[in-house]
Amino acid sequence: MKLIDIATTASSNMFRSKLRTFLTVIAIFIGSFTLTLTNGLGSGISSYIDREVGNFGAADALIIQAAGDSTGLPTDEVKKYDPTRRTTSIESEGNRTVTVLTDADLAKIRRLEGIKSAEAYQSAVIDYVSGTGSDKYVASIEPYLDGANYALDAGRQPKNSTDTLEILIPSTYLKFLGFKSAAVALGRPVTLGITNGLGQQSEVDATVVGVKQKSLAGGVTLNTNPALLAKLRTIHDIGLPPAATASFQVAVARFDASISDPQLVQLKDRLTKAGYKGTTIQDQIGTFKSVINGIVLVLNGFAVIALLAAGFGIINTLLMSVQERTKEIGLMKAMGMSAGRIFLLFSGEAVMLGFWGSLLGSIAAIGAGSVINQIVLQNYLKDLVGLQLLTFSVVSVASIMGIVMVVAFLAGTLPALRAARQSPIDSLRYE
């Protein structure tokens, strides 16, 4: 028998017991529907997180702190004073101490293999931000790290190589600063209020170059370019002792973004040996991502259980078919059909059941997914701009269908083997 004839015969055999086939397909349908949906949820959320990585900072940046300050949690541990380590303590958090870094540390870090550059990550505390004629609002600033790619409603990322004082504002501030829309804010000035070490307050004007979308990274941080930061730091440092201005808690080192993961681990090891702790943006988001992946894995587990149950449904259905068609199998064997072809006929039927179940299941899942996306994003999660809760790629849907068909084939092997091994004479005598 030709393969095409086996395929068409197997598929028409499916319809010989319509109700039974229907019920089996339903079982497979439920399994693949769930699997497609949970997979879509996983990939939707992880692609959102990947997109958010840009909002947290540059991918080739290592945030470096002195080792030993890892958790930042308040501690009861009483440490002996070490004159070589300089610490600052944050009063409100009691006993917590943070070891600071100096230019000497930067020089040491720069010498490490794999580090392209290292700079102090210094920020400044501002008192308020205001628009033209608007009230003053509390805000915090962070330097814009070259390479970070914030999701923007309008405008562009700040430029590092310019003397213009540029700033990114979050979209939450638009209406408070008197801007009707993100586009209107572009190129317009905002005023930052800052107090120096002598307690004198002064103001700095900066130009809005971009408006950040709402994101998981938070919505009250303004990002300055180096020129603006330098200006703010100059004011901030007035009246402070030189030792205070020359130290900082965090440094940012750059590495070659194309290095492999093991190489990155080695790089971090070298940092640890030198007495520092380096974390990448991926590390910071990694925890979050692994929680999401864990949840998706559990959901996928349920779907796989449903598929397994469906597999037993296939075995059952086909065993009954083999039983019913004993004589037919005998006849076909008498007419010269080989055992291999009989096997293919029945396992082909199993694969067809898997094909239809998974096809209908994934179509239904994609349909349900787009409805869920609509409802959820318009109601519960509308603040998360750019989130697609469920995304379906051709590759993932096709591979789920492939997996279901493999499961169906495996389930079909037992009945198919039984059919293939039947002796034609016994089958023909079978009453």
Partner 1 sequence: MPDPVLSANDVHKTYGKGDSLFTALGGISVDIKSGEKVAIIGKSGSGKSTLMHLLALLDKPTSGTIKIDDEDSSQLSGKALNTLRNHKFGFVFQQFFLNGNASVLENVLLPLKIGGSGFSERKQLALEALDLVDLGDKAKNKAKDLSGGQKQRVVIARALVNKPSVIFADEPTGNLDTATGEMIERLLFDLNAKQGITLIIVTHDSDLAARCDRQIYLKDGRIIENPVKRRQIV
Minimum CB–partner distance for residue 316 and partner 1 (Å): 21
Q: Find, among 148, 137, 150, 144, the residue nearest to 58 by Cα.
A: 148
Minimum CB–partner distance for residue 319 and partner 1 (Å): 19
Q: Rounded to an integer, what distance in angstroms lies between the CA atom of residue 285 and that of residue 308?
A: 34
H helices then E strands: how many in the chain? 12, 14
Q: Rounded to an integer, what distance in angstroms lies between the CA atom of residue 409 and that of residue 145?
A: 53
Q: Which of 331, 410 has the CB closer to partner 1?
A: 331
Q: Rounded to an integer, what distance in angstroms lies between the CA atom of residue 49 and that of residue 53?
A: 6
Q: Which of 15, 81 has the CB closer to partner 1?
A: 15
Q: Find, among 344, 342, 345, 326, the residue nearest to 9 by Cα.
A: 345
Minimum CB–partner distance for residue 6 and partner 1 (Å): 9
Minimum CB–partner distance for residue 16 and partner 1 (Å): 6
Structure tokens at 226: 């180096």
> Footprint of partner 1 on this chain (CB under 8 A)?
1-2, 5, 9, 12, 16, 327-328, 330-338, 341, 423-425, 428
Q: Which of 103, 324 has the CB closer to partner 1?
A: 324
Minimum CB–partner distance for residue 15 and partner 1 (Å): 9
DSSP H or E stretch at residue 409:
helix 394-421
Minimum CB–partner distance for residue 1 and partner 1 (Å): 5
Q: Which of 3, 265 has the CB closer to partner 1?
A: 3
Q: Which of 313, 330 has the CB closer to partner 1?
A: 330
Give 100: exposed, middle or buried? Use CB within 10 Å, 0-12, 13-18, 19+: buried
Rounded CA Rg of the chain = 32
Q: Find, among 17, 32, 2, the residue nearest to 356 by Cα.
A: 32
Q: Which of 288, 430 has the CB closer to partner 1?
A: 430
The distance between the two most distant Cα atoms of the chain, rounded to a whole number of Å, is 107
Minimum CB–partner distance for residue 22 and partner 1 (Å): 16
Q: Which of 61, 329 has the CB closer to partner 1?
A: 329
Q: Rounded to an integer, what distance in angstroms lies between the CA atom of residue 109 and that of residue 347?
A: 63
Minimum CB–partner distance for residue 369 and partner 1 (Å): 38
Q: Which of 256, 426 has the CB closer to partner 1?
A: 426
Q: Which of 1, 184 has the CB closer to partner 1?
A: 1
Residues in the chain: 431
Sheet of 276-280, strands arranged across: 115-121, 250-255, 61-66, 276-280
Question: Is 374 strand, coil or helix?
Answer: helix
Q: Rounded to an integer, what distance in angstroms lies between the CA atom of residue 288 and that of residue 84?
A: 36
**Cβ-contact 112, 271 below 8 angstroms:** yes
**Cβ-contact 27, 313 below 8 angstroms:** yes
**Cβ-contact 188, 178 below 8 angstroms:** no
Minimum CB–partner distance for residue 14 and partner 1 (Å): 12
